[in-house]
Amino acid sequence: MKFIDEVKIYAKAGDGGRGCLSFRREKFVPLGGPDGGDGGRGGDVLLEVDMALSTLLDLRYKQHLKAQNGAPGMGKNMHGKSGDDLVIKVPPGTLVYDNETGELLADLTKAGQGLPLLKGGQGGRGNARFLTSTNRAPRHTQPGTPGEERTLRLQLKLLADVGLVGLPNAGKSTLISCVSAARPKIADYPFTTLVPNLGVVRHGDFRSFVMADIPGLIEGASDGQGLGARFLRHIERTDLFLHLVDLSGLQQGDPVENFDTINRELARYNQALSERPMLVVFTKQDITEVRERTAELRPAFEARGYRTLAISAVTREGLAELVTVVARELDRMRKAGPLDSTVVER
């Protein structure tokens, strides 16, 4: 399935039905009078969160959406049927913007959360409504009012507890595939991950947390370099970062400087991201040289106040400890009080 995280749609509520022009015609009932009914109300347009969705793919191919119009009124004072409402399903984490003004209309994050978006038009009045003592045979009716319409921009920000960051080929996709059921593409070349991936990590008795893997970041990512700029928003909602550090030699430059570069890009994109709790994870510990370099560099990161962990996806060394540490850290953060999402309220 394609990962679509931004779409533009045109939505229109239903128009109200026209009022009816009719007069009662029955045998032995002369001059029966007006009996035209009112038109039906047009259907509304609503947005609703569907937890089964994880992408805006469906709306990419159906960008013009319209609720049902109200039916016209009929004789014998029968009112027209109201139009059915149109419910647009979106994944959790969807931001709704007015495309013309850029105004944020809603941030839909919770299961079943809805947004009344557009009101349908009112049905027009039939000629029976215009009967007066001086106008016994009114021939006037009203058309229904048009429904509201709007062009919207929908933007998806994934909801996750833990975000994986680091240079390309640091082992993010391998890690999420080892601790969850997510199956991202894994290969030994940069930018293997082209779209964000979500994985549910189980721990303890019937407990879990959600981990998000985004394409690798490079210097200048906040300015559009590489793939990270487009997907950085997907880690804005995460509560904890795991910064993966690869010491196998695939990344050029000093590991500490590379670490600082990624953190600077996060801060340049959104200053609040630099204040999120972060754990440093050294990957590929099945390689002897990496294990030796880890022992040398660990003090440099710990001196800055970061807790460090070492793992190997090949031998699964340290994975159980990593999951336990992350789960405890999330529990500690939640017990301390409401988590500060800084970007949107969770």
Residues paired with 86 in a beta bridge: 45
Strand order in the sheet with 114-118: 86-90, 45-49, 114-118
**pLDDT tens string 92-125:** 889 999 999 999 999 998 888 889 999 999 999 9
**Amino acid letter, 261:** T
Decide if pLDDT at 342 tops 50: no
In this predicted model, which residue has the larger pLDDT, 22 or 313? 22
pLDDT at 189: 42
Using 50, 70 and 90 to split pLDDT, how confident is the model at 157? confident
Give the C-alpha distances (Å, rounded to integers) separating 332 from 115, 209, 335, 336.
33, 14, 5, 6
Decide if pLDDT at 340 tops 50: no
Q: Kindly provide the residue ranges of all beta strands, DSSP E only, lying in 13-58, ordered along the sequence.
A: 45-49
Specify whether the CB–CB gap between 76 and 37 falls below 8 A: yes
Using 50, 70 and 90 to split pLDDT, how confident is the model at 2? low
**Amino acid letter, 219:** E
Decide if pLDDT at 268 tops 90: no
Count of Cβ atoms closer than 10 Å to residue 26 Cβ = 8
Specify whether the CB–CB gap between 321 and 242 falls below 8 A: no
Query: Which of 122-131, 203-212, 327-336 has maximum average pLDDT?
Result: 122-131
Decide if pLDDT at 172 tops 90: no
Q: Quote the DSSP letter at residue 47.
A: E
For the segment 265-285, the average pLDDT, to the nearest whole number, is 89
Strands 240-245 vs 86-90: parallel, antiparallel or unpaired: unpaired
What residues contact residue 274 under an 8 Å CB cut-off, 6+ apart?
A: 263, 266, 267
Decide if pLDDT at 333 tops 70: yes
Q: 3-state DSSP call for residue 114?
A: strand
Q: Is the pTM of this model over 0.75?
A: no
Residue (of 227, 297, 313, 310) closest to 258 by Cα position: 297
**pLDDT tens string 214-227:** 776 655 544 555 45
> Which domains are present in the chain?
1-156 (2.70.210.12), 162-336 (3.40.50.300)
Share of the chain above pLDDT 90, in %: 52
Specify whether the CB–CB gap between 72 and 18 falls below 8 A: yes
For the segment 48-71, the average pLDDT, to the nearest whole number, is 91
Apex CA 17: angle with CA 114 and CA 126, to 5°? 130
Decide if pLDDT at 206 tops 90: no
Specify whether the CB–CB gap between 171 and 190 falls below 8 A: no
175-204 b/e with 16+ CB inside 10 Å = b? bbbbbbebebeeeeebebbebbbbbebebe
Using 50, 70 and 90 to split pLDDT, how confident is the model at 185? low
